[in-house]
Structure formats: structure tokens, C-alpha cells
Copies of this chain bind each other. A is one copy, B any other.
């Protein structure tokens, strides 16, 4: 993002006004469109609001922009002459279509992280640079010739990667499959998107854990689905609830994240797993099994997925590289019956014409290299270490004020706050203190829950970050401990 040059002789407000003038002339802000609000722009550029006021005044004096009290600042329409030309009403185009905007908290998180680099990030659900296998991946790229054909790839995904995944799935997840049953996607996100858009119709009812990562995805609402909740206790969901929902609402699909569940970290226990398979196969009900965290298991032993026990082909199994290696590779996969793989391959081709071959080659090399297993071991050790640092910090900073279950895998700690707090106030207050997290309501829970990702900040930021959070919490509940 452009920033004013503080060493320049040109006053900052003038630099800003010139910069905006350029953007207007290049069509980024067409005639009639709104300029950023003064406060927001000041935040983004790291200047005082008064500087922006001055810059806007400068532009207004040239007739290039109009301001009206209460309705913001817009690029002038009349400036462009008396001829009846007009730009498209871009605002109304942006309001069209079936995609709902992202959840406001998540948009705000993205925005704050992009403008305030020093924020301690407990919000982004991914590995920090320290935990990613960057060196391993760089080495693999330099050692190997990428002489493969750079044309459109097989729309189902790069074949050597699907073959490497056959071995991976059997070795780590007890799933026996073949490359023709695998579809490579852009992370789990694209698998979920394809399932909700292509296998379900608006008005269909589906069951989802409560809380669940799925509530943070507007794709369910965008697809017009009716969501019904499966409460999660210490041992996961209660499978009998599925039968009840089926009878009442004819649910058409069940979405589950049974191992190190996001956000709670829960593991669905073995007895419930087999009970669940019995019930869904009795009802002919498909399960979408989202399994991104299993390989993070701190003691190396995660329960086997439904897919490995499923003799009826009821499971769409979704996995990904994002939480165990690098989210920036954008490599995920789905294991599914033939009809479904064929249908989703066809639809995905229409959306983006398939994934880039290069990261798929890199992922295949990494899976088959001797570097993969040591990376996993290091990752598990480090995640456990980070979990413990976070718990220690919480116990020290907020004794008796937070409750949590200690997870055995995954990247997150799910906390219930004892004092009654307003999500929004706590969120704003923590940002002011310098730490950012995801409020539980994003995952469909009531106010007063918090998801901390201990995998994302630098390891030495975890303690100070919890300290900042504690200050924020104390401030708003007005406790004098």
C-alpha cells in the first residue's frame, strides 16, 4: 500500500491529495464513486485525521470531489463536462450476485492486520513462518527440474500428487483409495465451496457442529442452505442428534470436523464415531469429514477418520496441507465416490480452470521426500510447546477468569471467559492494546468465547500477547485485580 513520504519536502496532505488525484484519473475511483472515509484513510496511511481533512479540502477546491455532511466524499460527476457521460453505478453492481460478504469481524481482522503490522496475531488460523517448512520447500524447488508441461493440467489435479496422496492417506489416515478417487482443490476451502454450491440446492437443510468453523464461512448462507446445529460437548457431537434433525428437517448432509475440531479442539470419541456411521448409513445420509488437523496430533496418534471405516461410501473426505505445512501452497484434496469427483471436477474447471501445476509438483515432492516426516515431528513438538506457553500465560495473567479444555492437537485454544463481556468491546479493546483474536460468535457461539491461535504469532509473542489481552479484558470488565 502507498504511504506518504515523511522525508519529502512536499507536505503530507499535498502528497495525499496528489496520490488521490492520480487514482481518480486512473479509474480506481470513477466519477460518482465514494472515496474512503476520512477516519479509515487516516488509519490506513498512519496519519492524523486532520491531514486527510486538509487533503480532501485541497481536492474539493479543484472541483474534483464533492463532500456532503453525513454522506461522505465522492468523486465529482459534473467536473467531467457538460456532455451526458456517466460511469457505471459500480456500487449497485457490487451489491449484486449471490455471494454474501465475509463476516464483519473477519473483514475487520484482515484490515487491521494489513495496516497494523505490530499487532500480535492470535486470529489467523495458520502456521507462523517459523513452523512452515520454508527451507525444505525452497530446497526441493532448487534440487528438482520443473520441466513438466506448463499447459492446462488434468482438471482433477496433477497426477503425481494424487498418486503421492494415495500413499499418504493409507500411511497416515488408514484410508485405502486410488488416484481416480481424489480431486485436488485450493485448500479445504475450495472443497467446501464445491460441495455447498454443486451438491446441494438452495433451501436444503444441513447439520453443522455448534460451534463450528463453518459459521465463519458465508458460503453456506450464499448457497441458500438452512443450517441446523449439533451441540459439541467434551467428546464431540451426540450422533443421536443427527437422527432427530433428519426426522424433523430432512437434513441432506452432515458437516463434521471430528478430530481436533475447530474451534474447540475436541476429538469425537471412538464409540460415537461408529455410532455415527451406523446412523448415517441407516439414513443414507452423506458426511463431509473435514480433517485438516489430524497430523498435528501432539503425541502422534490421532483417531482414524470415518472414511477409513466407511464401507458404504457415505463420506466425502476433505484434507489439506494448510495446517500441517503451508497454507500459501493452497493444496487441499477430497476423496469421494466416482460420480462426485466427476461432477466437482467439471464444476471446478468452470470456476478457475484448475490449479497451478507448480505448487502441486512441490507438494508431491515434499510428501515423498525424506524431509516430510522430520518436519511433522518438529511441528508437533513446537505446537505442544506453544500450547503450553499460552496456557501458562493465561493462568498467570487471568487466574480464574478463563476456562478451557487442553487440546491434544490443532492450532487453537478455545476459551470461555468467566466475566460477562461484550464481544465487540473486548475485540476493540484488545486491538488497542496490540493483540487480535477471533471472537467466538464468529463460530456461532454466544458472547464470551474466544479462539486463540497459538500457531500463528512468533513464539516469543505469545506471552506478551496474552498480557495485552488480559489488560484489555480487565479494562472492559473494570476489575481491579
Which residues of A are interface residues toward B (Cβ below 8 A)? 1-2, 22-23, 25-31, 33-34, 80, 84-91, 93-94, 96-99, 101-102, 107, 110, 114, 124, 126-129, 132-134, 137-138, 141-142, 145-155, 176-178, 180-181, 185-187, 189-190, 193, 197-202, 204, 217-219, 222-223, 252, 281-286, 307, 310-315, 325-331, 337-340, 342-343, 346-347, 349-359, 362
Contact = CB atoms under 8 A, between A and B. Distances in A.
Contacts of A107: 346
Nearest to A200: B96
A340 B180 contact: no
B177 A150 contact: no
A223 B197 CA distance: 12
13 contacts: A23-B181, A26-B177, A27-B337, A87-B284, A87-B314, A96-B200, A127-B151, A129-B151, A134-B149, A151-B327, A186-B353, A186-B354, A189-B351
Contact of A314 (B30, B101, B351): B30
B286 A337 contact: no
Contacts of A129: 149-151
What are the 7 tightest A-B residue pairs by CB atom distance, in nearest-first order? A30-B313, A150-B326, A27-B313, A186-B352, A97-B198, A356-B359, A150-B328
Nearest to A317: B27
This protein's copies in its complex:
2
A201 B190 CA distance: 22
Contacts of A222: 350
A99 B133 CA distance: 37
A33 B151 contact: no
A189 B352 CA distance: 5
Contacts of A197: 97-99
The SS class assigned to the A binding surface is loop
A178 B22 contact: yes
Nearest to A330: B356
Given A311-B80, A340-B93, A23 B284 contact: no
B28 A178 contact: yes
Contact of A96 (B31, B124, B199): B199
Contacts of A311: 25, 27, 80
Contact of A28 (B29, B128, B181, B347): B181
A201 B480 CA distance: 54
Given A193-B352, A358-B362, A177 B338 contact: no
Given A134-B150, A180-B28, A199 B350 contact: no
A438 to B, nearest CB: 14
A362 to B, nearest CB: 7
A2 B180 contact: yes
A329 B137 CA distance: 18
A134 B352 CA distance: 22
A321 to B, nearest CB: 10
A331 B354 CA distance: 11
A328 B153 contact: yes
Contacts of A327: 150-152, 353
Between A93, A187, A190, the greatest number of chain B beta carbons within 10 A of the residue's beta carbon is seen for: A93
A48 B296 CA distance: 48
A97 B356 contact: no
A340 B96 contact: no
Given A80-B311, A346-B107, A190 B337 contact: no
A343 B28 CA distance: 13
Given A102-B349, A350-B193, A351-B351, A313 B31 contact: yes
A132 B340 CA distance: 33
B110 A155 contact: yes
Contact of A26 (B34, B110, B178): B178
A88 B285 CA distance: 5
A358 B227 CA distance: 36
A96 B31 CA distance: 42
